[in-house]
Structure 1
Amino acid sequence: MNIPLAERMRPTRLDDVVGQTHLIGEGKILTNILKTGKIPNMIFYGPSGTGKTTVANICANAANRAFFKLNATTASLKDVRDIADKIDSYPGGILLYLDEIQNFNKKQQQSLLEYIENGKITLIASTTENPHFYVYNAILSRSTVLEFKNISPDEIKKAVIRAVKGVAGDYPDRKVTFSDEAVDHIANASGGDVRKALNAVEVCVLSQSYSMNEEISVTLDAAVDCTQTGSFAHDKNGDGHYDVISAFQKSIRGSDADAGIYYLARLLAGGDLITACRRLLVIASEDVGLAYPNAVVITKACVDSALQLGLPEARIPLAEAVILLANSPKSNSAICAIDEAMHEVETADTGSVPLHLKDSHYKGAVSLGRGVEYKYPHNYENAYVPQQYLPDKIKNRKYYIPRNNKTENSFKAYLEKIKGSGK
């Protein structure tokens, strides 16, 4: 059987696992748990290729438990029952590693409770999505959630060097060498994914093994050829996607044009033109708002241009919008005003529209007092006359609070002027 290099090089001890130094090492949670020999139910959350399966296997061995692995994408509850039925054959107990648990629906996840509560099975579930969104609360409350993070290039480099030594065993009659530059490139191009890095090592060797030379020598050029897909991965429905959107808006709100451009690039690299356009339109009103009212007009023009052009040219007007918005003065007065008003409308009795503002364009309206005392502002100096517009119960309510910027300061000065003259 042709077992992939990444599988053959899978560590069997925590000490050989690269990365995850916040979980593994002296005094860290996973290391301490394994020292007890007792494994609790756990959920491993993080990107692919960061050691979740490896650590689950090590946990099973440390607790002397039989290790069974299922993938929730293809598995069913019958598969879980079949494993539970084997408990008598394994005195040390069973550890079930359920990969991609988010693919089990609520009913299937609820059914797991029977097995983890009666102690027949210790569950380690993994997911690339935020478990607080995708895993049933009853499972979460019975499990310890541990986050696995992307692995740094320096840590991946250790795994690559070890893999080079491992793959050399496949060619006992030939010397296998990787240049330092090739090793560095593979470590940096893997995007924090050890599996991807080890697959690249294997492909590099295979691509050079056709040569009849005594030495299989992998250069930087060969490594680049074998990692042409790059390290970027984008899932429009994944948890990471929403993190990028969040960072995109927060960077522009924080007036960091460089970060805004970077996160725009990530969205566009994933082909997500629509999200980038929608988010820029939101930012123009939510974060720049009345501090620079023309920003939304310019942003709309950039978005329209981008949608007409399509990718890759769409990147240009969208970059223009990002830079404009990041460098514009900021005001959130509009969103604060409408959110405050909506909250009050939805949660409180605010009363009815004042009589003098009610519709009076029908026969009999005057006899009902509708619109009788309304004062038409254009009939007064500066088109302003004091009168009540809010319902009686909230007549003194203030929703709009001007921010300190040129435009809103001019609003404030104008209103003070006309309201002073209208008294």
Structure 2
Amino acid sequence: MQPKLSFGVEPIPPDAPLAARMRPQTLDEFIGQEEAVGPGSMLRGSLDRGRLPSFILWGPPGCGKTTLARIVARGVEAEFVSVSAVSSGVADLRRVVAEAQARRASGRRTVLFIDEIHRFNKAQQDVILPYVEDGTVTLIGATTENPSFEVIAPLLSRARVVRLKQLGPAELSGLVDRALADRERGLGTRELAIDDGGRTALAEGANGDGRAALTALEIAADVAEAGGRPTITAQDVAQALQDRRPYYDRQSDYHYDTISAFIKTIRGSDPDAALYWLARMIEAGEDPLFIVRRMVILASEDVGLADPQALMVATACQQAVHFIGMPEGFYAMAECALYLALAPKSNSAGSGYARAMTDAARTAHLPVPMQLRNAVTGLMRQFGYGQGYRSAHEERGHVAREMRYLPEELGSPQYYVPGELGFEARAVARWSELRAGEPTTLPEREAK
């Protein structure tokens, strides 16, 4: 596929979608992203000096990555070569480089824009690396994925990462107002307005995506005019959006950021926030069993012995969701999330295991004490296997107080440090008695 070449301001057909017609042509028209392109930013400073470094634009769909790339290329009067990583390969990249070398010989610069650069594999990214390094091309990559994981380190070291954010309600509102007022590229000749309800519905439904906001505005305008109304309402916008789902990619940072928020919310014992993040994931189409798996982990990691019942609730939730499926599975998931959020918390199991793991790795050479080995044969008994072992069931209180269960070299470590909440608080007394070698009593729950 021949990469698309463009220079300067491209003519836009009058019948192009509104989002294409309203594409900003200068940084002054570029709404939002003050940290990336505002006064004092790296890009603004470089353009003011007529220079342009290679950089990677990282942000969600509809935040202006492609538009910004075109604007900055025009700002340094460079040839703009656009390549899509979805449909281009190594041959296309080599052809672009050859043309850039010829262009450079005549004193012209080339900006190579690679859309969805995260879809290029390591070998494809390696192809352009030396030409970015020697300045044959200035690279502008665009990605919705974290460049730390998707762009090779040598390329990252030669490019700056510019983070773009979702557009906020005020910025989306600005896009809408501009489109309604612009008589050349927008809807200004149609003399339409939008009420507060429509504006709010559009800002919420677009989910921070400027392209989606303008697309929905154009459809909502048609709906309003078909009904003979000069004002776009929330009902018109609802028809235009048609149950648009929020941006969510199961393999992207958004996926991991959202589950992280969910887990931290439950750990922090906020049931309302737990339901909110759960709903965000379910309604976006997240794999329900992925969510449940994380709740099962949390039940042991963060609730633990403060409420041993939590693990049973979480595993029951997994079975229920697997058995009944979605959408009804949300009932079990919501119940489990609420239970875990409201449960007392203890991380003693995980922290205790971590301490034991450290010693286990350090002392893996130590043999198992003879008294703990099974004497299966006469020869083994002859060599002392099992000698000195005392069964707990034959001792007072079913505790063999004289037995040692760790290698002598370890001394008397304490790996388990009990918490102070729920069941674990009631179990502390028995645990203390066991360590002290004193007569033991059953915890309150066991006695009952």
Q: TM-score range by the shorter chain?
A: over 0.9
Do structure 1's residue 241 and structure 2's residue 255 form an aligned pair?
yes
Residue of structure 2 aligned with 1:265, choices 262, 279, 284: 279
Aligned-partner Cα distance in 1 for 2:362–2:48: 53
Identity %: 34
Match of 1:365, SS?
Answer: helix
Match of 1:312 in 2: 327
**Amino acid aligned to 2:427:** F
Match of 2:257, SS?
Answer: helix
Per-residue Cα deviation, 1:197-252 (whole angstroms, up to 9, x for no partner)? 011112223445557x6x75433221111112235122222221111111111110
Per-residue Cα deviation, 1:261-294 (whole angstroms, up to 9, x for no partner)? 1111122111421111111111111100001111
**Amino acid aligned to 2:303:** V
Do structure 1's residue 387 and structure 2's residue 403 form an aligned pair?
yes
Match of 1:186 in 2: 202
**Residues 305 and 62 of structure 1: is their aligned pair in 2 closer, same or farther, counting only changes over 3 Å?**
same
Paired residues of 1:386 and 1:422 also in contact (CA < 8 A): no
Paired residues of 2:183 and 2:189 also in contact (CA < 8 A): no
Match of 1:104 in 2: 120
**Residues 70 and 167 of structure 1: is their aligned pair in 2 closer, same or farther, counting only changes over 3 Å?**
farther
Paired residues of 1:351 and 1:392 also in contact (CA < 8 A): no
Paired residues of 1:116 and 1:122 also in contact (CA < 8 A): yes
Match of 2:56 in 1: 43
Do structure 1's residue 67 and structure 2's residue 83 form an aligned pair?
no
Paired residues of 1:291 and 1:330 also in contact (CA < 8 A): yes
Alignment of 1:89-128 (within 5 A): 89=103, 91-128=107-144
Of 361-370 and 191-200, the range deviating more from structure 2: 361-370
Superposition deviation, residue 24 in structure 1: 2.6
Residue of structure 1 aligned with 2:162, choices 146, 149, 152: 146
Residue of structure 1 aligned with 2:94, choices 77, 81, 94: 81
Superposition deviation, residue 176 in structure 1: 3.3
Superposition deviation, residue 174 in structure 1: 4.6
Aligned-partner Cα distance in 2 for 1:180–1:405: 50
Superposition deviation, residue 392 in structure 1: 3.3
Per-residue Cα deviation, 1:67-98 (whole angstroms, up to 9, x for no partner)? 11111111112222222222233623111111
Q: Please, what is the CA RMSD of the aligned residues? A: 2.3
**Amino acid aligned to 2:307:** Y
Paired residues of 1:350 and 1:394 also in contact (CA < 8 A): no
Match of 2:37, SS?
Answer: coil
Superposition deviation, residue 320 in structure 1: 1.1
Aligned-partner Cα distance in 2 for 1:365–1:107: 59
Of 18-27 and 325-334, the range deviating more from structure 2: 18-27
Superposition deviation, residue 102 in structure 1: 1.0
Q: Which runs of 5+ in 2 are unaligned?
A: 1-12, 441-448
Paired residues of 1:45 and 1:146 also in contact (CA < 8 A): yes
Residue of structure 1 aligned with 2:342, choices 306, 318, 327: 327
